[in-house]
Amino acid sequence: MRVFVLCTGRSGSLSFVNACKHIRNYTTSHESLADVFGNERFNFPDNHIEVDNRLSWSLGHLNKYFGDDAIYIHLKRDRDKTANSFFQRFYLPGSIIDAFCDGVRMNPVEKLSKKMRLKACYDYVDTVNTNIEYFLLDKSKTMTINLETIEQDFPKFLEFINADIDLEKGIEELRKSHNSSFQRKLNLDYRVKLTIIREWRHLKMYFSKKS
């Protein structure tokens, strides 16, 4: 059995992962294959819980490889709190909200006003949650867990997947704060290096086509 926890991100997923790591009859990972291409992206082991907000953009593949055989969990958080949490993530390396604006919506973040950035966050949250909700319509083994009631929902989840766990340790993990949006630090050397590398590679590609 495989369990996929689908979410927008910024919805308590890291706390959920750490709680699930106390389950003895499942392995648990967070975005463990997010950087892999092709079929290997979905090479998840059996008796495994995978928490990965980026799987919401690969629901067709999830259906192809696992269909109705897997258990699907929709982890949700209050819409306003989720959007505002993403609002704090702009310009961070690897930020999915930047990728959403630049790549999916074709609105470079550096051109967006503060009001438009917040609007983009709401758009992202609504888009991902709607994708997940429609994907789950024809699935028989599903459950929705809300961050606001997670201490009550988590034991129901454990029963749902027949988990063997020390419940007190799992609940203790849920009460901890992980990856807070406000723990923001500036790594100036890294950002400068990243800009130089990307621009250099762009120039190399440009001139290689010209030659």
Contact criterion met (CB below 8 Å) for 17 and 28: yes
Write the pLDDT tens digit of every residue in 118-139: 999 999 999 999 999 999 999 9
For residue 102, pLDDT over 90 is answered with yes
Structure confidence at residue 23 (pLDDT) = 97
- The pTM assigned to this predicted structure is 0.88
Closest C-alpha among 123, 132, 128, 129 to residue 83: 123
Helix or strand run (H / E) with residue 204? helix 188-210
Q: Residue 192 — very low, low, confident or very high, per pLDDT cuts 50/70/90?
A: confident
Q: Residue 186 — very low, low, confident or very high, per pLDDT cuts 50/70/90?
A: low
DSSP letters spanning 66-108: TTTTSEEEEEE--HHHHHHHHHTTTTSTT-HHHHIIIIIS---
Structure confidence at residue 93 (pLDDT) = 78
Write the pLDDT tens digit of every residue in 18-64: 999 999 999 999 999 999 999 999 999 999 999 999 999 999 999 99
d(CA 177, CA 182): 11
Count each helix (H run) and each strand (E run) in the chain, helices first: 8, 5
